[in-house]
Amino acid sequence: MPGFTKASVRDAQVKGRRVLVRVDFNVPLKDGEDGGREVADDMRIRAALPTLELLRERGAALILMSHLGRPQGKVDPALSMAPVAKRLGELLGTEVKLASGVIEGDVDLTCGALGPGDVLLLENVRFEPGETENDPKLAENLATLADVYVNDAFGAAHRAHASTEGVAHHIPGYAGLLLEKEVTELSAVVESPTRPLVVVLGGAKVSDKVGVIDRFLEVADKILIGGAMAFSFFRAEGKPVGDSLFDDESVEAAREALTKAESSECELVLPVDLVLGREFSAETERQELDGVEVPDGWMGLDVGPRTAELYGKAVTDAGTVLWNGPMGAFELEPFAAGTRAVAEAVAAAPGTTVIGGGDSVAAIRKFGLGDRVDWLSTGGGASLELLEGKKLPGVEALIDAKETEDIDA
């Protein structure tokens, strides 16, 4: 694909070989009817299916590894991959064996017994204390399990961990179909958008997205600000924000962004009206404010109808839309209208539409509009770092496309 320079899993010689695949199965779990745990949302598992099915069709034996939650390098039965193995087996239509651990015990013997098309899922890779530390020995041990490595875990590609970066220094590493598509789609937003490029940014902290704001002040035509981060901008402008969420670091970052915007050809747009609540609760007293100066005792929890209309028109007129971050507390129904309006505008937009991971994906799927967007990213932090222009360790460690002929000869 244009713009993607790493070797693709399509080019790997895998027939009769064991392939170690880093997937992102960090999915939410819930209590099942039988008293056990089960997968609550399988979006990330489904996203990996094209790569897994391709490898199985080509005669590979699959050894999958993923993290789940944050077990801090200790075994936590509540974060076992067992529910994931069950759901993956249902989706693939085959048995997915669950290893007893990551590298210890009889894992190597189990891997050695795998045949073409077989699938083994290792236990939670973060049960190993060396995973997040990118321990060289763990990476080396993981590499001994297979002949080829494939990284399809875009959501973890911004982390230099043993399973995402270290292992690729020991066996040839290829990009999975999802990873390749993620990098291609998100890079295109920055490098070759159809104009005008409109970026909708929400969420809580400006400081978390200052790199993205800086980047798009250089390349976008409009940046539309929503969510709690808007109050850091208002605070930087000297406007009262009442009890709305903000922090000093984000206010300073907003002040710098406003200064940069003055000399930029990109228009930085802030809300013009708000929906207020007394507290962060669906049951709280609510009022619409025709303006943005929040009185004491109130907090801004959503953008108002005029802002929603303004932002919706900008999205409709865009050639390319990138949306990252909700417009308000969309999980509380009285304060979901702004985010819903943006979601509907993005879904109906005639231009190219990309959702940059995180809560925006949750929002557009909540409103039943996920299938009307061109690209829904599976990465939160990884999406932001790629859009900022940062190199992702999990991508950089893979072999370059031009090297595949030598390796697979």
Active-site residue flag, 291: no
Active-site residue flag, 328: no
Catalytic residue among 22, 37, 44, 235: 44
Q: Which residues are 37's β-sheet partners?
A: 31
Question: Helices marked H in 164-271 — which ranges?
Answer: 177-191, 206-219, 229-236, 248-262
Catalytic residue among 89, 117, 380, 381: 381
Q: How many CB atoms lie within 10 A of CB 356?
A: 28
**338 neighbors 304 (Cβ within 8 angstroms):** yes
Active-site residue flag, 87: no
Catalytic residue among 6, 37, 58, 205: 205
Give the separation between CA 344 and CA 364, rounded to whole angstroms.
8
**Tokens representing residue 61 in the block:** 């034996």
Give the separation between CA 385 and CA 95, rounded to whole angstroms.
36
What is the dihedral angle through the alpha carbons of 360, 366, 369, 374, rounded to the nearest 10 degrees? Answer: 30
DSSP 121: E
**157 neighbors 379 (Cβ within 8 angstroms):** yes
Catalytic residue among 304, 357, 358, 379: 358
Active-site residue flag, 357: no
Give the separation between CA 320 and CA 257, rounded to whole angstroms.
22
Nearest Cα to Cα of residue 65 among 117, 123, 108: 123
Classify strands 18-22 and 267-269 as parallel, antiparallel or unpaired. Answer: unpaired
Q: How many CB atoms lie within 10 A of CB 407?
A: 16
**356 neighbors 183 (Cβ within 8 angstroms):** no
Give the separation between CA 27 and CA 402, rounded to whole angstroms.
35
Q: How many CB atoms lie within 10 A of CB 272?
A: 15
Catalytic residues: 44, 205, 358, 381
